[in-house]
A and B are shown apart, each in its own frame.
Chain A
Amino acid sequence: MSSPETWTHPEPREGPAATAAAPTAEQVIAGLRATSEGGPELVQLLTPEGERVENPEFDRYVADVTTEDLRGLYRDMVLVRRADREANALQRQGQLGIWVPLLGQEAAQIGAGRAMRTTDMAFPSYREHGIAWCRGIHPKELLGIFRGTDNGSWDSNATRFHPYCIVIGNQVLNAAGYAMGQRFEGKVGDDNGEATMVFFGDGATSQGDVHEGFVWASVYDAPLVFFCQNNQWAISEPTERQTRLPLYQRARGYGFPGIRVDGNDVLATLAVTRWALDACRHGNGPVLIEAFTYRMDAHTTTDDPTRYRLSDELEAWKLKDPIERLRVNLVRHHDADQDFFDSVQADADALAVELREFCFNMPEPPIEQMFNNVYAEASPVLDAQRDEFLSYHASFGGEH
Chain B
Amino acid sequence: MAAPAINKPATESKTQALTLGKALNLGLRTAMEADPKVIVMGEDVGKLGGVFRITDGLQKDFGEHRVLDTPLAESGIIGTAVGLAVRGFRPVCEIQFDGFIFPGFDQIVSQVAKLHARTQGRVKVPMVIRVPFGGGIGAVEHHSESPESYFAHTAGLKVVTCSNAVDAYWMIQQAIQSDDPVLFFEPKRYYHSANMKADVDTSAKPYPLYASRVLRTGTTATVVAYGPSVKVAMDAATAAAEEGKSLEVIDLRTLSPLDLAPVYDSVRRTGRLIVVSESPSEASLSSEIAAKVQQECFYSLEAPVLRVNGFDVPYPPAKLEEHFLPDLDRVLDAVDRSLGW
Q: Which residues of A contact B (CB under 8 A)?
A: 2, 7-10, 12-13, 15-17, 20-21, 24, 97-98, 126, 144-151, 166-169, 203-209, 234-237, 241-242, 302-303, 307-308, 364-365, 367, 369-371, 374, 381-382, 385-386, 389, 392-393, 396, 400
Contact A241 B69 (CB under 8 A): yes
Kindly report which residue of chain A lies nearest to residue B282, judged by CB atoms.
Answer: A381
Can you list, as one digit per residue, whether each of B121-149 has a CB less than 8 Å from chain A (1) or not (0)? 00000000000000000111111000000
> Are A21 and B140 closer than 8 Å at their CB atoms?
no
**Do B320 and A208 touch (CB < 8 A)?**
no
The answer to whether A370 touches B324, judged by C-beta atoms less than 8 angstroms apart, is yes
- Pick from B48, B73, B312, B321: contact of A381, CB under 8 Å: B312
A172 and B249 alpha carbons, distance in the complex (Å): 46
Contacts A168-B100, A308-B47 given; indicate if A144 touches B317 (C-beta within 8 A): yes
A148: nearest chain-B partner, CB-CB: B318
Asked whether, in the complex, the Cβ of A145 is within 8 Å of the Cβ of B140, the reply is: yes
Q: Are A13 and B313 in contact (CB under 8 A)?
A: no
Does B72 contact A21, Cβ atoms closer than 8 Å?
A: no
Within 8 A of A (CB), among B67-107: 69-73, 75-76, 99-100, 102-103
* Interchain residue pairs with CB less than 8 A apart (16): A13-B62, A17-B60, A20-B61, A98-B138, A145-B141, A169-B103, A206-B71, A209-B103, A236-B46, A307-B47, A365-B319, A369-B320, A370-B323, A374-B312, A381-B312, A396-B329
Contact between B76 and A7, CB atoms less than 8 A apart? no
Whether B257 sits at the interface, judged by CB under 8 Å, is no
Q: Which residue from B63, B76, B312 sits with its C-beta under 8 Å from A206?
A: B76
Q: How far does the alpha carbon of A104 sit from the alpha carbon of B299 in the complex, in Å?
A: 68
Chain B residues with CB below 8 A from A145, complex form: 140-141, 317
Main secondary structure of the interface of A (DSSP, over half): loop
- How far, in Å, is A13 (CB) from chain B's closest CB? 6
* B3 contacts partner chain A, Cβ-Cβ < 8 Å: no
Interface centre among B47, B57, B73, B323 (most CB of A within 10 A): B73
Chain A residues with Cβ under 8 A from B329's Cβ? 396, 400
Are B43 and A237 in touch, CB under 8 angstroms?
yes
B316 contacts A by Cβ under 8 Å: yes
Q: Are A10 and B138 in touch, CB under 8 angstroms? A: no
Whole-angstrom distance between the Cβ of A129 and the nearest chain B Cβ: 14
Within the complex, the shortest CB–CB distance from A230 to chain B, in Å, comes to 13
Check A97/B103 contact, CB under 8 A, given A241-B71, A382-B313: no
By beta carbon, the residue of chain A nearest B327 is: A400
- B51: interface (CB < 8 Å): yes
- Which A residues are in CB contact (< 8 Å) with B167? none
CA distance A2 to B64 in the complex (A): 10
**How far is the CB of B322 from the nearest CB of chain A, in Å?**
9
A-side contacts of B36, CB under 8 Å? 8-10
Least distance between B103 CB and chain A CB atoms (Å):
7
Closest residue of chain A to B71, judged by CB? A206
Apart from A206-B72, A369-B320, A370-B313: 10 A-B pairs, beta carbons within 8 A: A9-B36, A97-B140, A97-B318, A166-B143, A169-B73, A365-B317, A367-B320, A374-B313, A385-B312, A393-B323
Contact between chains at B73 and A148 (CB < 8 Å): no
Distance, CA A145 to CA B321, complexed state (A): 14
Digitize B28-51: 1 where CB-to-A-CB distance is under 8 Å, 0 elsewhere. Answer: 000001001000000110111101
In the assembled complex, B65 has its CB within 8 A of some CB on chain A? yes
CB <8 Å contact, A370 and B76: no
Interchain nearest-CB distance for B35 vs A (Å): 11
